[in-house]
Amino acid sequence: MNKINFYILLSCLVLFTCKKSNTLTPTNPKTPITTTYSFADLKVNGIYSGFTYYALNTAPVIKITFSTPINLASVGENILLNDPLGKAISFTPSLENNDNTVVIIPTALQPITKYILTVNVGLLSKTGDKLQSSISINLITAVSDADKFMRITDDELLNLVQRQTFKYFWDFAHPTSGLARERNTSGDVVTTGGSGFGIMAIVTGISRNFITRAEGLDRMQKIVGFLKNNVTRYHGAYPHWLNGVTGATVPFSTKDNGADLVETSYLMQGLITARQYFTGLDLAETNLRNDISSIYNGVEWTWFRKDGGNILYWHWSPNYDWDLNLPIKGWNECLVTYVLAAASPTYHISKSVYDSGWAQNGAIKNGNTYYGVQLPLGSANGGPLFFAHYSFLGINPIGLLDAYANYETQTKAHTQINYNYCVANPAKNIGYSAECWGLTASDIPNGYAASSPTNDLGVIAPTAALSSFPYTPAESMAALKFFYYKLGDKIWKEYGFVDAFKLSDPWFATSTLAIDQGPIIIMIENHRSKLLWNLFMSAPEIKTGMKNLGFTSPNL
């Protein structure tokens, strides 16, 4: 082969190779088309209301409809029903509506419990398509209608509630000081105001034969001795919290590390009530009375006028002076603070301080009507119900009048508004009814708040309705029966009812608080016998002080 032919042949081979190479180079493959189907409809017990369902029976029928027939074999792994702890709940699935609708019927759901039904994207259609997006459905079951405890008479039920609640202040009292722990998890932290409530509970316990008089006297001697000899006082007033072993102040907040005049007044209310109860002529009861009078007379109420002003102030700190700057003015839970300040034989305030400070020269008045009830004093809709409880554990509002209000009308109106609001339930909170009502300060999920018709968080506190027995006896009894017979398996515990609950997203407190347990036992007793009212109002200082403020009452 000559050179020319060789080069021609070589050129052809190169061209052929290049052409072949270009032909065999693969192009990018097309992305496979994945088809999906979609959710179309949902009904629980025949009703659609979004993706959350309340007050369900324990075997609801859930029907989820899709845009295409479903492969029943894929349901088990891709439709899941779980309780709040993540435990799988069994159910029976089936298909209907040409297999486009999956029917779920759970088994063994519990009352007042939230369940979550999840439909994953892995749920296959009959043609192998996947669900476009997952679905989550909240299912909340209703309160069971079954009684949780045997029915007893109304009187027996009141006795039971008082006895069980009493245990908080007797069995759970701090072993060293005898004072009331702030709450059931407080350890050595005791509460001044709550201990005042606890002292009144002890008097009730003796009267109801829960303990003997000797046992009650022994506990009172421990409490009063500790308050007299161990606790740091500030111008005679006590701190909000203190250590039950040492008596040292436990700061309520950074600047609230000294005197709390309102908490002190709740303590004095309890101590004066006990002094009026232990009237024996023996040395033990005589010394107890003398010690209580000494503690009360040592409170420098006039100091808390802050440089002689015409209003009392809530706090004073040895480190921060008056920095918290919180004047005590009505209408709220602090009427008893002004009454005790006016009643003091040693540091009494004048009527002008009451008129200018507490009553704000008449600005305390309201007069508007809420939920069909006229409210004499205070803020719109009355505020939280503890306003009608704390000061009136000892002060008897029945027939009580001054220049600003009839306090029987005030306390009853406040309570009735709170009740009527819950029955009307404008916020559509699940569970509110004529049997389930009462908004006040209490624990809430992940916190603490003062609930009221203007701050309705969907949380009911048993203390609100039960401490209102003197004002709304029929409505309070209906609530008590509901709390005990219908919710008892959830909220009736070692020291009576737990602090609060919420039925819309079921939550039940595990806590009990001195300031909420105390009014229950005390106000039920005032409803039954007026015991604490009669004792506190019998104190000569209280009679004089209230008359000096312009109060009139058959009990003064």
Separation CA 7–CA 114 (nearest Å): 87
Separation CA 180–CA 188 (nearest Å): 10
pLDDT digits (tens, 9 = 90+) for 127-156: 999 999 999 999 999 999 999 999 999 999
* Residue of 326, 454, 334, 476 lying closest to 383 (CA atoms): 454
Separation CA 253–CA 219 (nearest Å): 30
Check: CATH 2.60.40.1220 for 36-141? yes
pLDDT digits (tens, 9 = 90+) for 452-497: 999 999 999 999 999 999 999 999 999 999 999 999 999 999 999 9
Task: Decide if 157 contacts 163 (C-beta within 8 A).
Answer: no
- Determine the pLDDT at residue 5: 45
Domain with CATH 2.60.40.1220 in the chain: 36-141
Helix/strand/coil percent split, the chain, to 5:
40, 20, 40
* Residue of 300, 331, 338, 339 lying closest to 316 (CA atoms): 300
Task: Decide if 549 contacts 342 (C-beta within 8 A).
Answer: yes
Domain with CATH 1.50.10.140 in the chain: 154-548
Separation CA 458–CA 193 (nearest Å): 27
With 0-12 / 13-18 / 19 or more C-beta atoms within 10 angstroms meaning exposed / middle / buried, residue 273 is buried
Separation CA 449–CA 441 (nearest Å): 5
pLDDT digits (tens, 9 = 90+) for 324-337: 999 999 899 999 99
Q: Kindly tell me if the per-residue pLDDT of 12 is higher than 60.
A: no
> Which residue do the tokens 């250590």 mark?
243
Helices 335-343 and 261-277, axial angle in degrees (round to 10): 60
The residues facing 54 across adjacent strands are none
- Determine the pLDDT at residue 187: 96
Task: Decide if 79 contacts 117 (C-beta within 8 A).
Answer: yes
Separation CA 479–CA 475 (nearest Å): 6
Separation CA 285–CA 99 (nearest Å): 82
Task: Decide if 533 contacts 394 (C-beta within 8 A).
Answer: yes
Q: Kindly tell me if the per-residue pLDDT of 214 is higher than 90.
A: yes
Q: Kindly tell me if the per-residue pLDDT of 377 is higher than 80.
A: yes
- Determine the pLDDT at residue 2: 46
Q: Structure tokens of 338?
A: 């002004």
Task: Decide if 529 contacts 159 (C-beta within 8 A).
Answer: no
CATH number for the domain running over 154-548: 1.50.10.140
Separation CA 280–CA 284 (nearest Å): 8
Separation CA 310–CA 116 (nearest Å): 58
| pTM of the full structure | 0.91
